[in-house]
Amino acid sequence: MTWLLALILLPIVGALLVAGLRANDRTATLAALAVSIVELLLIIPLWLAYDPSGERIQQASSMEWIPAFGIHVSFGIDGIALIMIAVIALLVPIVIGAMNSTGKLPQGRTAGGFLSLILLQEALTIAVFAATDVFLFYVLFEIMLIPMYFLIGGYGGANRQYAAVKFFLYSFLGGLLMLASAIGAYSLAADRLGQGTFDWATLVTVVREAPASTQIWLFLGFFLAFAIKAPLVPFHTWLPDAAGQAPIGVTVLLVGVLDKVGTFGFLRYCLPMFPEASRQLAPLVLVLAVVGIIYGSILAAGQRDMKRFVAYVSIAHFGFIALGIFAFTPQAVAGSATYMLNHSIATGMLILVVGIVAARGGSTRIADYGGMFKVTPILGGMLLIAGLSTLSLPGTNSFISEFLVLLGAFETRPAYAIVATIGMVLAAAYVLWLYQRIMTGPVRGDALVGVWDNTAARSASVAGGGGSQVGGGPGTAAAPEIGAKKAIRDLSKKEIAVLAPLVVLIVVLGFYPKPVLDTVTPSVNATVAAVQER
Partner 1 sequence: MIASSWLLVAFPALGALVLLAGGRRTDTWGHLLGCATVIASFVYGLVLFFGNSFAEATDTTLYSWIPVDALQVEFGLRIDALSIVFVLLITGVGALIHLYSIGYMAEDANRRRFFGYLNLFVASMLILVLGNSFVTLYLGWEGVGLASYLLIGWYQDRPAAATAAKKAFLMNRVGDVGLALAIFLMFKYIGSTSFEQVFAGIGDVSPAVVTAIALLLLLGACGKSGQFPLQAWLPDAMEGPTPVSALIHAATMVTAGVYLIARSAPIYNLTPDGRLVVTIIGAFTLLLGAIIGCAYDDIKKVLAYSTVSQIGYMMLAVGLGPFGYALGIAHLLAHGFFKAGLFLGAGSVMHAMNDEVDMRKFGGLRKAMPITFVTFGLGYLAIIGFPFLSGFYTKDAIIEAAFGQEGWRGWVFGGSALLAAGITGFYMTRVMLLTFFGKQRWKETKSADGREFHPHEAPPVMTAPMIVLAIGSVGAGALLIIGNNLADFLAPSVGVLEESTHGVVPHALVPWLTVLLSALGALLAWRLFALRDTAIERPQDVSWPVRAARKDLYGNALNEALVATPGLWLTRFAVFLDNRGVDGAVNGLAAALGGGSGRMRRLQTGFVRSYALSMLGGSFLIVAALLLVRFS
Interface residues with partner 1 (CB under 8 A)? 166, 169, 233-234, 236-238, 295, 298-299, 301-303, 330-331, 334-335, 371, 373-374, 377-378, 381, 388, 393-395, 400, 403-404, 406-407, 410-411, 414, 417-418, 421-422, 424-425, 428-429, 432-433, 436, 439-443, 511-514, 517-518, 521, 524-525
CB closer to partner 1, 479 vs 504? 504
Minimum CB–partner distance for residue 33 and partner 1 (Å): 25
Minimum CB–partner distance for residue 359 and partner 1 (Å): 22
Minimum CB–partner distance for residue 325 and partner 1 (Å): 14
Q: What share of the chain is helix, strand, coil (3-state, %, to 5)?
A: 75, 5, 20
Minimum CB–partner distance for residue 394 and partner 1 (Å): 4
Please give the helix or strand (H or E) that residue 146 lies within, else none.
helix 145-155
Interatomic CA distance for residues 124 and 46, integer angstroms: 18
Label residue 191 exposed, middle or buried (CB < 10 Å: 0-12, 13-18, 19+). exposed
Query: Which residue in 280, 152, 283, 129 sits closest to 215, CA to CA?
Result: 280
Interatomic CA distance for residues 283 and 292, integer angstroms: 14
Minimum CB–partner distance for residue 211 and partner 1 (Å): 29
Q: What are phi and psi of 83, to 5 degrees?
A: -70, -30
CB closer to partner 1, 169 vs 470? 169
At 62 the three-state DSSP class reads strand
CB closer to partner 1, 117 vs 334? 334
Taking a C-beta distance cutoff of 8 angstroms, is the pair 41, 54 a contact? no
CB closer to partner 1, 284 vs 425? 425
Interatomic CA distance for residues 249 and 240, integer angstroms: 15
Query: Which residue in 449, 452, 433 sits closest to 441, CA to CA?
Result: 433
CB closer to partner 1, 161 vs 331? 331
Minimum CB–partner distance for residue 439 and partner 1 (Å): 7
CB closer to partner 1, 139 vs 517? 517
Minimum CB–partner distance for residue 166 and partner 1 (Å): 8
CB closer to partner 1, 95 vs 289? 289
Interatomic CA distance for residues 90 and 533, integer angstroms: 38
Query: Which residue in 243, 290, 231, 267 sits closest to 419, CA to CA?
Result: 290
Interatomic CA distance for residues 487 and 229, integer angstroms: 39
